[in-house]
Amino acid sequence: MKKIIHGRDNQGSSWLYSDIVKEHFFNPKNLLINGQEEGYQADGMGRVGSPACGDEMVIWIKVDKDTEKIKECKWQTFGCGSAIASTSMLSVMVTENDGMKIEKALKIKPQDIMKRLGGLPARKIHCSVLGDKALRAAINDYFRASGQHGRIITDGAKIIDEKLRITDHDIEEAVLEGARTLEDVQNKLKVGVASPEAIPEIIQLIRFYSEKYYGAH
């Protein structure tokens, strides 16, 4: 019989965690210790969520350029036990057995992470969704950094720069990472450099996300 750990939400309802979730929460795999990220040389980095809004996940990947296998997947997660366990398990899934090919990694669904964890409480399913999105963002960053703009996935996002396939979500992430001006965002993304017609919309998005997360100045 599997051991379980209990949790309780704000309404007082109880829910259960599996042994696997417990293992990945108390002994997370592939965690990048706070402070090490400055010197970590990754091929792609993806960030979803915001500490101001609750859970945030950051994933770094290293890719074998010849095989397109993910050789390393490091991460940091700010949030609940489910968020930590989900990201830990995802990092194992994409690096085990000599690494998972990018095309296969892009097909990972939140249900796949939950299955490997032995399930999650219904109110915690969003945590595995965040992990899936963070991995996709890291792979997109790898595509962008390696000049493979045609492979960038833009599901649910509006493309702002057609040439580089940069989306409104990319600009939002840049603002969350500290960009405040057009110059700041262009230093990170090169957005609008080859598509100057997009600059007015880029400026509007920077203002919108800055006010959304940091308030009007």
Could you give the residue numbers annotated as active site? 53, 127
Residues 84 and 21: their CA atoms lie apart, in Å, by 9
State the chain's maximal CA–CA distance in angstroms.
62
* C-beta of residue 131 within 8 angstroms of C-beta of residue 124: no
Nearest to residue 37, comparing CAs of 48, 45, 25, 49?
45
DSSP-derived 3-state class of residue 184: helix
| N-to-C CA span, the chain | 57
Distances (CA, A) of 37 to 77, 90, 165: 13, 19, 26
* C-beta of residue 132 within 8 angstroms of C-beta of residue 115: no
Return contacts of 149-156, CB within 8 angstroms, 24+ apart.
153/106
